Amino acid sequence: MTLLELDDVSVTYRIAAGEVPAVRGVSLSLDSGAALGVAGESGSGKSTLAMALLRLLPRDARVGGRILLDGEDVLTMKWGRLRAVRWAEASIVFQGAQHGLNAVRRIGDQIAEPILVHGLAKPDEAAKRVAELLEQVGLPAWRARSYPHELSGGQRQRVMIAMALACSPKLIIADEPTTALDVMVQAQVLTLIKDLVAEHGISLIMISHDLSVLADVCDRLAVMYAGRLVEHGPSLEVFHDARHPYSKALAAAFPTVGDPVSRLAPKGLGGDPPDPMHLPAGCPFHPRCPVALEECSTLDVELWPAGDRRAAACVHVRSKEEAS
């Protein structure tokens, strides 16, 4: 069953210099209990898309399209309903979010807050739920009495995951949840996320620039470039046999999970992503594309079906599929 459906979602930031088209016409769907990875370089629009899902964008952002969560459009929801949906139906774990914990409040009180705000437990029952949640994320119950500075970065990120789980949401959006952590801790937190979503049947949208991390955790991958979806399909197929030259380069840049060498020197991807305010004509990837044809500088190919539940926005994919 479909839990989340994005239909032609676009986000434009209005700034003094003009309009920044950060997300352009993204359509995707996520089944209940499934995990979708959204990959792309810095600036490709991943975080903007994640924030749009729960209407957490700043006021200067204009969002278009439809975002259906369990059939209800998040973009047209009344504020009261939206407040009820946040945490209770869908929650978000941000990049480096552990720094967002309140330094002067005990961990337990911070985890209990969404539970109490949403009226899911009385104050005396909330402590029990907090202990359960801490245990689920691999922390001892006594940590409820600790302050954030008494925890390591990895432990703080576990607390953020406990908060995201607190109201038993159907969907967790994790935006670069492990980027700020060192490699060993990163692997532990990824395993935790993977196990928790599987155990509780929670759907997951995980965002990262690292395709290998996403392929390890998610069933399906969506690759973004310059605000647009350029490929989507089953994770291992996209990771090992990408159809779009950009996804291929991204997969080559991060060959193995947490490999420190690939982090320092991403291979296979020359040049910089385009400025969204000055996108090149044609396919936005063509100036960096190793297999670009002359027509790519004028022709922008839409996502084209490329096998079972796969699609890629590339002229080569289109030609191959048309010929077969």
Name which position in 9, 26, 30, 43 contacts ligand ATP (CB under 6 A).
43
Segment interacting with ligand ATP (CB under 6 A) among 45-53, 238-246, 280-288, 304-312: 45-53
Name which position in 6, 34, 39, 47 contacts ligand ATP (CB under 6 A).
47
The binding track of 252-281 with respect to ligand ATP, each residue x by CB under 6 A or -, is ------------------------x-----
The binding track of 53-82 with respect to ligand ATP, each residue x by CB under 6 A or -, is -----x-x----------------------
The answer to the question of residue 48 lying near ligand ATP (CB under 6 A) is: yes
**Residue 276 or 284 having the CB closest to ligand ATP:** 276
Segment interacting with ligand ATP (CB under 6 A) among 42-50, 97-105, 157-165, 292-300: 42-50
The binding track of 2-41 with respect to ligand ATP, each residue x by CB under 6 A or -, is -----------x-x----x-x-----------------x-
**Residue 117 or 269 having the CB closest to ligand ATP:** 269
Instruction: Say how far residue 212 (Cα) sits from the centre of its chain.
Output: 14
Length, in residues, of the chain: 324
Give me 45's structure tokens.
Answer: 């629009």
Paired residues of 305 in beta bridges = 311
User: 3-state SS of the chain: helix, strand, coil percent to 5?
Assistant: 40, 25, 35
The binding track of 200-219 with respect to ligand ATP, each residue x by CB under 6 A or -, is ---------x----------
Location of structure tokens 């202990």: 131
Give me 221's structure tokens.
Answer: 């991958």
Smallest gap from Cβ 74 to ligand ATP, in A, equals 17
The answer to the question of residue 45 lying near ligand ATP (CB under 6 A) is: yes
Residue type, 313: A
Smallest gap from Cβ 138 to ligand ATP, in A, equals 27
Three-state DSSP class for residue 229:
strand
The answer to the question of residue 324 lying near ligand ATP (CB under 6 A) is: no
Sheet hosting strand 18-31, strand order edge to edge: 18-31, 2-15, 61-69, 72-73
The secondary structure of residue 251, as a DSSP letter, is: H
Residue type, 73: D
Rule CB under 6 A: which of 86-115 touch ligand ATP?
none
Smallest gap from Cβ 1 to ligand ATP, in A, equals 29
**Residue 45 or 282 having the CB closest to ligand ATP:** 45
Smallest gap from Cβ 208 to ligand ATP, in A, equals 8
Smallest gap from Cβ 23 to ligand ATP, in A, equals 7
What does the DSSP assignment read for 142-207?
Answer: GGGG--GGGS-HHHHHHHHHHHHHTT--SEEEEESTTTTS-HHHHHHHHHHHHHHHHHHT-EEEEE
What does the DSSP assignment read for 77-144?
Answer: --HHHHHHHBTTTEEEE-TTGGGGS-TTS-HHHHHHHHHHHTTSS-HHHHHHHHHHHHHHTT--GGGG
The answer to the question of residue 177 lying near ligand ATP (CB under 6 A) is: no
24/168 Cα distance (integer angstroms):
31
Binding footprint of ligand ATP on the chain (CB under 6 A)? 13, 15, 20, 22, 40, 42-48, 58, 60, 209, 276
